[in-house]
Every structure is written in C-alpha cells, then in structure tokens.
A and B are shown apart, each in its own frame.
Chain A
C-alpha cells in the first residue's frame, strides 16, 4: 500500500478573511511497510495532511495515489479507501457513542457489511491487539478511564483491518505509563500485522523510539524527511522550527563536546545506556 502525494496544496476557508494556506506543495512517497513519524509545531499542517490520505479532505490542488489509485479523482471509492487506510483522530475517545465497548468497536466492521461471525472475530482480535480483556466487552465505554477509552477507539479502527494505520497524536493527554503502553502496543501491532504506520506526534522522544523515518512539517511544508539519525543531526534547524532533539541526544552531544568519544546518533535511552556502559567498560580496561 504505497502512498504517493504530489504537489498537494490545501486552503481552509478559501475566499474569507480567515483563509489559511495549511499545506503548500507537499510531495511525499510512503512505501509499503514503513513506520513513519510526522512531527511539527502546532498548526504546521500535520492533521490536515493525514486527513487527505483517506479522502476526508479534498486537496485544493495536487494528487494523492494510494496503492496506485488516484483517490482525488471524481468517483473514487472512498468507502473502500477508508477501510484500507484506517485513521485514528486526535482524542479519538471523543467519538465513542455505543452502549457497550463491543458494539462500539463493531461499528466499523458493521459498516463494511460483514457477517456477524466475521464482526465478532474482528472485534475480539482488535481488543486483543490493544490489550483490552474480555471483561470490558459489555461495559459502557463512558465509564472507562481516559486511557482505556482511547484503546477502545483505536480498536474501533483496527477492527476494520486497515493496511495503513494513521494515528494523530495517539499518546496526547495520557500519563507517562499510558503513553508508554500505547506506543509499545502500536509498535507491536506494526510488527505483527506488517502494516504501514503513520504516526503524528509532538514528542521527539516518542517519534525517535518508534519510527524508522521522520517527516518534519513546518508551516505547511515538508521541512525535513529522513532517518532519525539524519534528522537529529540538524538540531539547530529543528530548534528554529520550534522543535528539539530528544533530551538523550542533547546529553550525548554535550558529552561529545567534552571530548568523550560517544556516538553522535543516539536518540533512545536504551541505546545511550548501552553506549555509555560500553565506554565505561573500555575506560576501566584502559586504566588497568
């Protein structure tokens, strides 16, 4: 499921004084099976961009091809597209509406016109993916905690078995352990289902840990696009866009400045720990 975006422009409220050129000339290719992190300051156009990918927004100009099919063409089958490209919105728990968790997750598959058995299978599978046990099935989604609600909402999209999963700030507003769990589950899901994942976040730490490729948005344009190590070597540019490199990368940079021979592409705590321990061991050996 490759996605090709060419010369995409989008203007909100064209022709009014509130007109806003939210996307300017965006060109991107996302290949099958990639895990892409999208970051950018508030209002940089991240949400606008991803809403184009399942046809919720129509480009002001430009084209988008998903799996070789131009989805901006007239008469494109949007319903089918939305099954293939699952989109989880920012604060998805605000869209829950059914009496029970089970029914809410079943809403997507039901709209696809599946049989009862298939729906049941998919609901159970999706709940399993997000770590909700069977005892939640008949609870009302409104009496769950924020983090649990969010999982129900994510399961609601997963139950459609999309090939591409797009998540807009899936960890926003959760406590550190909630963030951690959601991110770990998304990563596990990515490995298990071999889907393409696009993941919007404000947090460099989260993106650094999960993504194999990072796209940096700035004022409606793609400012940088590359591997995490490439992106984080441009700390100054990132800062000028109101972003920053992960704290652990900053630490590594300060260590390097003091003459410690540390790698310059450290962006996760695990990696930093391993490297520092290795350096310490070398030092000890040298002392002996």
Chain B
C-alpha cells in the first residue's frame, strides 16, 4: 500500500516532457485542470482524455506507473461513483430490485466524476514524474515572483515546499520501517474494528512524529552550520530557461483549452 504512493516521485528518464521548462508544465497543468472542470459535454471529455493520453505518451513513463499512482484512490473513485449513481434524482432505472433506485442522470454523473478524478490524478502525476523536485520548486518560485513585490515570502515558500517534497519518500520509508518493526512485535494494522485500527496506529505515529521532528531539527542545524541564507542574493547553479519546445507545448495547450471553451459555447 505504502509503495503505491507515487505522487511526488520523479521518474528519471529523458523525454520531451522532461526537457520542458517546469514553468510551462506547471501552467499547462493548471490550464488542463481548469479545462477538465469546464468540460460539460461528451466531446469535451473525449478531447480532454485524448489530450491527457498524449501527455502520458510524450512523458515516456510506463503506463503501469500511472496505474500505480491511481491505486490508492480507486476506493475514493468507486465510492463517489456509487453515491452519484444512487443518490442523484432523475429518471429511475430499477435493476436487480434495489431499494434505492439508480438513475440515468446518476450513472452519467458518476462516469463524468470518475473520469475527471482519473484525468486529474494522471495529469498531476505526469508533472511530478517528469520534473525533479528541485526544478518543480524553482518553477513555482519563479512563477510566484511577481507576488514577492506584495510582500509574499516567495523564496521561503518555495524552500518549504522543496523540503516538504524532498521528505515525502523519506517519511514513507520511515513509516514502512516502523510498521514492520511493530508488526514484528505482533502489531496488527489490518484487521479488527475501526476503533481497534485507530488505536493500533499510535505505536506507528508516535515514533514517526518523533523521527520527523528529529529530522527537521538536524536539517535546520545542518543548513545553519553551512551558513544557509535564503532570499535575494542567492544564485543558482542551473538557471531554468524557456526553449523552443516550450513554445510548441504552450501553443498546443492553448489550442486545446480554446477547443474546450468553444465546445462549451457551441454545444
């Protein structure tokens, strides 16, 4: 289960998507998400799905990785789909003699919502799979730069983000280790009543928090002892720059976005 959490995991290969500027990818993702939520007819959905598939293909990351990213949220997808199917008012379809009737509207809504969720996860994964955490936060920082004039501490925000992203795998690994150690002492995290399972979490969460605090402390000391100072005068080893490929990608993205809007207006 823990090994299925792939968000925030970078997939180090070479692909057109990997070579793009992180800013292009972040802005494109935002546009794509907006487009997915603006889509309100079948054609727009088909278009959004096709576009997402194109992104997946361009990323050269194996499709199985994307499926793995979906695994932890299958439950949410199916649960919301069931709620939608049975609790949306509309034309009733009685199937298998269920007490609560399904409705056509519910079925369609469920399909739409499920598709939206899946596309959302896949497209966000495409960003994190193809962008290393450092580039990602560099990109976010650059994009937030204009807000620095308004007094927003963009540099610090970006730093906090990169640290948070950096420590996701570490914490997962740590959780895995602690879970194993407690299992070796007979802990049972998988069966029993909900109350029992919540109680069983304490032996895992307490050591996890302690180690997270310890790590934070160590990191702070390490940064300070190397005279870390953020902010204005810090330069970078690798500056991020827009290339021709970003122009192509940007145009393609805008064309797709325009198409979704047009479909929304004319249909």
Q: Could you tell me which A residues sit within 8 Å of B by CB distance?
A: 13, 15-17, 51, 54, 56, 79, 82-83, 86-87, 89, 92, 94-97, 107-108, 111-112, 142, 156-157, 160
Contact = CB atoms under 8 A, between A and B. Distances in A.
B186 A160 contact: yes
User: Which of the listed residues B64, B177, B186, B188 has the most CB atoms from chain A within 10 Å of its own CB?
Assistant: B186
Contacts of A87: 181, 184
A96 B211 CA distance: 11
B186 A82 contact: yes
B183 A56 contact: yes
Contacts of B207: 94-97
User: Which of the listed residues B177, B185, B206 has the most CB atoms from chain A within 10 Å of its own CB?
Assistant: B185
B252 interface: no
B184 A94 contact: no
Given A15-B64, A17-B13, A95 B186 contact: no
Contacts of A160: 185-186
Nearest to B203: A97
Nearest to A90: B177
Contacts of A142: 210
Interface footprint category on B? 20 to 34
A17 B181 contact: no
Contacts of B184: 54, 56, 82, 86-87, 89, 157
User: Which of the listed residues A83, A111, A157 has the most CB atoms from chain B within 10 Å of its own CB?
Assistant: A111
Contacts of A96: 207
A17 B12 contact: yes
Given A56-B180, A92-B181, A94-B211, A79 B202 contact: no
A127 to B, nearest CB: 16
B1 to A, nearest CB: 14
A33 B192 CA distance: 36
B186 A112 contact: yes
User: Which of the listed residues B62, B64, B206 has the most CB atoms from chain A within 10 Å of its own CB?
Assistant: B206
Interface in B194-217: 202-204, 206-207, 210-211
A117 to B, nearest CB: 18
Contacts of B3: 13
A108 B181 contact: no
A85 to B, nearest CB: 8
